[in-house]
Amino acid sequence: MGLMIEKVRQLAERSEIVKYTKYKENNNDAKHLVKYQKEKDYEYYLCDYCYKEIKIANKWEERTGGVIELPLEFSNRGKVKVAMHNKCLKQFLKEMESEIINEKNKG
């Protein structure tokens, strides 16, 4: 069983892709204030391939990745939602392809 194929099978079991929130560092002046609230910096996903942050930017041209729905014949549901960087997705699809070819060659 290929690593990537196994990975996708696991991802297919996941119900939702978790969105995380990054907060700005507390600055010391504000810490003693009762009403001080953590200030939201940005939201992000974790890449299913490299496990690093994918910042959710408002402008699409600033986005390095996001949630993509992949049509995959070997998953039970037919489609798998993944969160990935654009560059990771490319690499991921390449590895998947060669694994699928390997599987088929095994007969």
CA distance 25 to 52: 19
For Zn ion, give the closer residue by CB, 50 or 68: 50
- Determine the interface stretch with Zn ion among 13-21, 29-37, 68-76, 81-89 (rule: CB under 5 A): 81-89
To the nearest 10 degrees (0 to 180), the angle between helices 86-106 and 3-13 is 110
**Is residue 85 near Zn ion by the rule CB under 5 A?**
yes
* Chain residues 16-55 in contact with Zn ion, contact rule CB under 5 A: 47, 49-50
Provide the 3-class DSSP secondary structure of residue 87.
helix
Contact criterion met (CB below 8 Å) for 64 and 99: no
Q: How far is the CB of 38 from Zn ion (least distance, A)?
A: 26
Contact criterion met (CB below 8 Å) for 88 and 65: yes
Q: How far is the CB of 44 from Zn ion (least distance, A)?
A: 11
Residues of the shown chain interacting with Zn ion in the complex, contacts defined by CB under 5 A: 47, 49-50, 85, 88
